[in-house]
Amino acid sequence: MKIIILGCGRVGSTLARRMATEGHDVTVIDLTSDAFRRLGSKFKGTRLVGGGTDMDVLRRAGIDSADAFVAVTNGDNRNIMAAQIAKEVFSVPKVMTRLYDPIRADAYQDMGIETICTTTIAAGLLHDIALDEPVENLVETLRAYRRESGGV
Amino acid sequence: MYCIVVGGGNVGYYLTKDLIRAGHEVLLLEKDRGCAARLEEELGETVMQGDGCDVRMMEDAGFARADVVVAVTGEDEDNLVVCQMAKTKFSAPRTIARVNSPANERIFATLGIDGTVSSTRIIFNLIEQEIQTDEVVPIAALSRGNLEIVVVELSRDSRVVGQRISDVHLPAEAHIVSVIREDKGMLPNADMDLRVGDSVLALVSTEQEDDLRRSFSESS
C-alpha cells in the first residue's frame, strides 16, 4: 500500500521503518529534516520536509494516490486538521491519527476520523497490569469502542 | 450577545475591546499564563486563562450559552479545532475563525466553519485592486466553498463597458448582485449601463470563476 506518515517522531519513524521493511510505499513528512535521522540510513521510503496542513506539500507527497494517511505529530490540533484535509479534501480511503486528549479523540472519532488515544490506551494497560487483570480486557474494550463509534 | 473570543494576541485584544464597547458580554480565553495575566490587568474578569480546545475549560467558560465563538489565535489548526469543538460539543450557533494561510479558507468552509476571516487575503486583495482592473477578485467564500462573492473593477478596456446589464454574457452560475459607482452601492437592474470605474459585485460558483473572468476581460 501507499502510505503517508505525517510527523517523524518516535511513533512516526517506527511505523515508517516497519512499513518500509514490509515492502510498502512510504512517504514521511516532517517540518525539519533533522527529524529524519530517526529513520536511519537504510530507510527506503521518501522523506519530505514541509507542513502537514499545506495542500501543496500533501500533493507532492502523492496524497492523491495514497491508500492511507497517518497523522502522528506531537500537536493534537495539527493532527486533527491534517487528518480532516486527507479525508475530506483528498478522500484518502484510510485516515488515522494519534491524539493525546481523550475528549478530542472521542469527538473526532464520532466525526469519522480513526483516532487512537495513546493516553487512554497506556493508562488502561498500566491499570490492568498493576491489578493483574488480563490485558485482553483492554483490547476488547478498545474493539467495542471502535465498533460503537463506527470505526473499521 | 454572549461572545467568546479565543486567543489574546493583538486581534483578540482589540476585538474584545470593541465588542465590550458595543455592549456585548465578552469572554476572552488565552492559553498563555503570562499573557492572560497582562490582559487581565486591563480587562479584568473578561479574561480567562485556559486552552480553548479543552472541553472542561470550555464548559467553565460557558460555551454552551455562547451566541458566537470567534477563534483568532495565530495557529490555523487551533482556530479550526476551537470552532469544531464549539459546534459539535456545545452546539454553538455561529463560529468564526481567523485564517492565517489563505489556502485554508476553502478547507475551513468545507469542514463546516460558518465564517472565516483572512487578513492576509484582505491585504492581498487591496493591493491587487490598486494595481489591476478587470481582474476578478474573490472577497468571500460561501456555502461550504462552492460559491464565491467576487468584485471586478471595470477599466476602459473591459468588454462590458457601455453595455446594459441584461446584455452582459454571464456564465450560467453567475449573478451580478450589486454595482458600486462613486462609493454608492446600487442594486442592479436590467437596463443599467456599466461604466468605467464601476465595481461590479457578483455571486459565482467556484467552477465558473474563470468563465466570469472572460466575460469581463479586455475586449479583443
- Taken in order of first residue, the domains within chain B and their CATH numbers are 2-121 (3.40.50.720), 132-216 (3.30.70.1450)
Rounded distance between C-alpha atoms, residue B196 and residue B213, angstroms: 16
Assess contact for B69 and B4: CB atoms under 8 A: yes
Q: What is the pLDDT of residue B95?
A: 92
Q: A88–B54: do the CB atoms touch at under 8 Å?
A: no
Q: Which residues of A touch B105 (CB under 8 A)?
A: none
Counting Cα atoms < 13 Å in the Cβ hemisphere of A110 gives 9
**β-sheet bridge partners, residue B186:** B179
Q: What is the pLDDT of residue B143?
A: 61
Question: Is it the case that residue B91 has pLDDT exceeding 90?
Answer: yes
Could you report the per-residue pLDDT of A28-64, keeping only the tens digit for each? Answer: 999 999 999 999 999 999 999 999 999 999 999 999 9
Q: What is the pLDDT of residue B133?
A: 55
pLDDT range class, residue B99, cuts 50, 70, 90: very high
Q: What is the mean pLDDT of chain B?
A: 88
pLDDT range class, residue B90, cuts 50, 70, 90: very high
pTM over 0.80: no
Residues in chain A, pLDDT under 70: 146, 148-152
Q: A103–B77: do the CB atoms touch at under 8 Å?
A: no
Decide if B73 touches A, using CB distance below 8 A: no
Assess contact for B203 and B212: CB atoms under 8 A: no
Assess contact for A31 and A50: CB atoms under 8 A: yes
- Three cell numbers, residue A44: 527506503
Question: Is it the case that residue B190 has pLDDT exceeding 90?
Answer: no
Q: Which residues of A touch B53 (CB under 8 A)?
A: 76-77, 101, 104
Q: What DSSP line would sit under A20-68, residue for residue?
A: HHTT-EEEEEES-GGGGGGG-TT--SEEEES-TT-HHHHHHTTGGG-SE
Residue B37 CA: distances (Å) to CA of A26, A53, B43, B177: 46, 32, 10, 47
Question: Is it the case that residue B220 has pLDDT exceeding 80?
Answer: no
pLDDT range class, residue B114, cuts 50, 70, 90: confident
Please, what is the end-to-end C-alpha distance for chain B in angstroms?
53
- Three cell numbers, residue B209: 470563476
Q: Is residue A98 helix, strand or coil?
A: strand
Q: What is the pLDDT of residue A78?
A: 96
Mean pLDDT across B192-200: 90
Decide if A49 touches B, using CB distance below 8 A: no
The ipTM estimated for the assembled molecules is 0.84
Question: Is it the case that residue B80 has pLDDT exceeding 60?
Answer: yes
pLDDT range class, residue B146, cuts 50, 70, 90: confident
- Residue found under cell 466575460: B215
Please give the CATH topology (third level) of the domain spanning A2-99.
Rossmann fold (3.40.50)
Angstroms from A106 CA to nearest CA on chain B:
11
Assess contact for A52 and A7: CB atoms under 8 A: yes
